Structure 1
Amino acid sequence: MNQRERVLAILVGGLVVLGIGQWGFSKYKSALQQRKTRFESLQDRQLQLSEKRLLGAIADKQMGEYLVRSLPSDTEKARNAYQSWLLDVAKKHDVETPAVNETGTSPVGDLYHQFKFKISGRANMPQIVDLMYDIQAKDYLHRIQQFEITPSKITPSRRDDGFNFNVTLDVIALSAAPGNAAPPKTHSWRVEQDQLAYAEPILNRNLFEPPNQPPVFNGNKTLEAVRGREVAFPLDVKDPEQHRLAFNLVSEHDNVTIDQRSGTIRVKSDELTEFKVDVEITDSGYPNKKTTETLLVKVVDPPPPPKEEPPKVELAYDDAKQTYLTGLVQGAKDWTAWMNVRTRGKTLKLRVGDEFEIGSVRGIIKSIDADKVEIEIDDKVIALKSGNTLKAAVDEIE
């Protein structure tokens, strides 16, 4: 074999080895991928089985809860137990002429029996709401399918308002439940724990008018009473809808009373003191709205009695009517006013600062000049000119 043939043989051998190696690597890679795929498939299967076990546990727990809430599997006992319970609830809320009837029973495979019941009667709206609360709060496997309510007719023997109602319910008795299963003890999570919270949005609303507004207090929040006397304070309160108002004290006070209709507060205390009074004002709208105001009551001493003016003495004849200014005489230092009192037959000579009393007029000379004399009488100043009477000058300013 020459050199050329030797090289060709090496090349051919190398290609064969390379092909065999590539085929072997492909087989290895394919086997590895199959193992990976199988491993992932087994993992998915494991997850599916774990999920089924979890769902089975959840379903088992749920079924356990359903069994606790189910009627007895004995259909007669189930029927009697539920019917008796509905009647007890109706009597508890004073429903008039209550009636509870089973309207049908139907099996659903071998899993459970479904009963239909109807409860009817007459009651006021708060009683009906309380009845519905007790039905929904009882944690039976039941539901309200239909609820009808209509105003009841007014008869001569019944003048108050009321409603006739019909409630249709579906209830289940599981076949796996005990034949003498006891009623559920739990409270349904679908209903408020607080019965007042359940009833408030149903009862306290008015579908026929705008929302009711609370009363508005417009009066003085400080009341001043007199010691030893009973003093009345009418409260100034207005209601936007002009509803009737009721007034109450939030807490009792020994010295304070209030008229529930008029809202007049009466205070009587023998001590000098001050204290606060909380007044609750409720309107008659639907639903009722309340306003609470805090008032400060101060008990003070009575005011001093007014000064008594001395009684005016009626004169048989007023000398001031016949008193004339007859002269204004200038001396070395000052002026002198001459007043002639004709009824007495004498003349008074008065200077600035002199005080006099003539008949009904009592005054002080304020000033004197060549034209007139000014006289101060009870914080007023009159001007008397020559030839005029004193009474006429006084009457001009009164």
Structure 2
Amino acid sequence: METRQLVLYGLLGVIVLFFGGEKLKTSLIDEPFDAQQKRIEKLEKDRTKAKKTLNRAKKTSRRIAEWEEQSLPADPSTARTVYQEWLVDVVDRSRLTTPSFDSGTPVLRNGIYHSLTFSVRARGTLQQFTAFLYEFYRADFLHQIQSIGITPLRSAGLLDLSISIEAVAMTNSAYAQDLPTAIAEEFADKDITYFSPIVRRNIFGIGGEADPANFTRLTAVTEQGDTEAWFTLGSENRVIRLKQGEMLDVGQFTGTVAEIHRTDVILEARGERWLLSIGENLNEASALPPEF
């Protein structure tokens, strides 16, 4: 009996030791290990998050540095004065007429920059308005046109213009008295003639005499003998027959017949290529990309 009890006590001890040991292992080894793994995972997530935040901060810092190079002078009064002087000069060089100017009170935003608003009223032809826009966007300032009101004055052949502008003066601007002198990257290799197609299209239908180019239509392509493109001048009811390489000079359009195909031609003018299909007027030609 005593031997059996000793065996039972021994088995009981083994069972207690097994389960107790497992519990001891769990509390002393497994749980601390799992907790450590969770801390490591959290640290990794925090490190990744901090790295992303740092990268965003670096990008923001670079962007702010760029803005400070494009900014109007830091002092808002100086900024308003020199920018309005610049606007007056641009309007004058664009030959817009009867101009009037106004500006609002500078407003500090987030302690980082002042927002300045300006308005311009003037009249001019589409060509003069295009010249104004060219000069405006060519200047690499922190400014933008917020709205444009355009009323065609057909009897006078002019546009009545109302333009609202916002400009920015960073508190840490790189300039104290002057405006930036850099040219916007998009305009570095373009002069005003690049925008002449806008004027030729005359989308507002203003002006004195109608441009004959707007009524010159590609009416046929013939392949009997030499391939020719036939252009009908609607204003004169006259047909011009041209071969590849010959010049087309009508109204404000001067260009070369670069290629002739069965249903369309490619015209080349001022370094640009235009696709004109049978039945279309010159002002309906589609601009082709440089690589075409």
Does residue 128 (structure 1) correspond to residue 129 (structure 2)? The answer is yes
**What is the deviation of 1:119?**
1.8
Instruction: Name 2:40's counterpart in structure 1.
Output: 39
Does residue 170 (structure 1) correspond to residue 183 (structure 2)? The answer is no
Does residue 87 (structure 1) correspond to residue 88 (structure 2)? The answer is yes
Q: Aligned with 2:21: secondary structure?
A: helix
**Given residue 166 of structure 1, which amino acid in structure 2 is its aligned partner?**
S
1:112·1:172 contact (CA, 8 Å) conserved in 2? yes
Matches of 1:100 and 1:11, distance apart in 2: 102
Instruction: Name 1:279's counterpart in structure 2.
Output: 246
Instruction: Name 2:138's counterpart in structure 1.
Output: 137
Tell me: CA distance 1:290–1:68, structure 2 relative to 1, closer, same or farther (3 Å). closer
Matches of 1:134 and 1:62, distance apart in 2: 24
**What is the deviation of 1:281?**
3.1
**Given residue 64 of structure 2, which amino acid in structure 1 is its aligned partner?**
M
2:230·2:239 contact (CA, 8 Å) conserved in 1? no
Structure 2 length normalisation: TM-score?
A: 0.70
1:215·1:282 contact (CA, 8 Å) conserved in 2? no
**What is the deviation of 1:170?**
0.8
Deviation per CA, 1:262-310: give whole Å up to 9, x if none.
Answer: 979xxxxxxxxxxx995323455xx85967399xxxxxxxxxxxxxxxx
1:215·1:290 contact (CA, 8 Å) conserved in 2? no
2:120·2:164 contact (CA, 8 Å) conserved in 1? yes
Instruction: Name 2:12's counterpart in structure 1.
Output: 12
Deviation per CA, 1:160-179: give whole Å up to 9, x if none.
Answer: 62222121101111222256
Instruction: Name 2:218's counterpart in structure 1.
Output: 214
Instruction: Name 2:208's counterpart in structure 1.
Output: none
Percent identity of equivalent pairs = 18
Tell me: CA distance 1:290–1:60, structure 2 relative to 1, closer, same or farther (3 Å). closer
User: Where in structure 2 are the equivalents of 1:326-341 lying within 5 Å?
Assistant: none
Select which of 180, 200, 211 maps to 2:197.
200
**Given residue 22 of structure 2, which amino acid in structure 1 is its aligned partner?**
Q
**Given residue 108 of structure 1, which amino acid in structure 2 is its aligned partner?**
R
Tell me: CA distance 1:187–1:178, structure 2 relative to 1, closer, same or farther (3 Å). closer
Instruction: Name 1:151's counterpart in structure 2.
Output: 152
**Given residue 34 of structure 1, which amino acid in structure 2 is its aligned partner?**
A
Matches of 2:34 and 2:258, distance apart in 1: 84
**Given residue 162 of structure 2, which amino acid in structure 1 is its aligned partner?**
N
Q: Aligned with 2:180: secondary structure?
A: coil
Q: Aligned with 1:213: secondary structure?
A: strand
Matches of 1:207 and 1:219, distance apart in 2: 38
Deviation per CA, 1:157-209: give whole Å up to 9, x if none.
Answer: xxx6222212110111122225615423333357795344455357536588x
User: Where in structure 2 are the equivalents of 1:310-349 lying within 5 Å?
Assistant: none
Q: Aligned with 2:218: secondary structure?
A: coil
Number of residue pairs aligned between Structure 1 and Structure 2: 248
Tell me: CA distance 1:211–1:58, structure 2 relative to 1, closer, same or farther (3 Å). farther
Instruction: Name 2:210's counterpart in structure 1.
Output: none
**What is the deviation of 1:33?**
0.3
Matches of 1:198 and 1:184, distance apart in 2: 24
Matches of 1:65 and 1:111, distance apart in 2: 14
Matches of 2:258 and 2:42, distance apart in 1: 76
Instruction: Name 1:292's counterpart in structure 2.
Output: 257
**Given residue 180 of structure 1, which amino acid in structure 2 is its aligned partner?**
A
Instruction: Name 1:384's counterpart in structure 2.
Output: none
1:214·1:290 contact (CA, 8 Å) conserved in 2? no
**Given residue 5 of structure 2, which amino acid in structure 1 is its aligned partner?**
E
- For the pair shown, the structure with the greater C-alpha radius of gyration is 1
**Given residue 279 of structure 1, which amino acid in structure 2 is its aligned partner?**
E
Structure 1 length normalisation: TM-score?
A: 0.53
Deviation per CA, 1:44-92: give whole Å up to 9, x if none.
Answer: 1112222222111111111101111111111221011101111111122
Matches of 1:47 and 1:4, distance apart in 2: 64
Matches of 2:150 and 2:20, distance apart in 1: 91
Q: Aligned with 1:214: secondary structure?
A: strand
**Given residue 127 of structure 2, which amino acid in structure 1 is its aligned partner?**
P
Structure 1 gap ranges (5+): 155-159, 223-234, 246-260, 265-275, 295-398
Matches of 1:242 and 1:146, distance apart in 2: 37
Tell me: CA distance 1:213–1:289, structure 2 relative to 1, closer, same or farther (3 Å). farther
Tell me: CA distance 1:35–1:207, structure 2 relative to 1, closer, same or farther (3 Å). same
Instruction: Name 2:181's counterpart in structure 1.
Output: 185
Matches of 2:85 and 2:126, distance apart in 1: 23
**What is the deviation of 1:216?**
4.2
Instruction: Name 2:272's counterpart in structure 1.
Output: none
Matches of 2:230 and 2:110, distance apart in 1: 69
Instruction: Name 2:106's counterpart in structure 1.
Output: 105
Matches of 1:141 and 1:34, distance apart in 2: 52
Return 180-189 or 140-149, whichever deviates more.
180-189
Matches of 2:229 and 2:43, distance apart in 1: 85
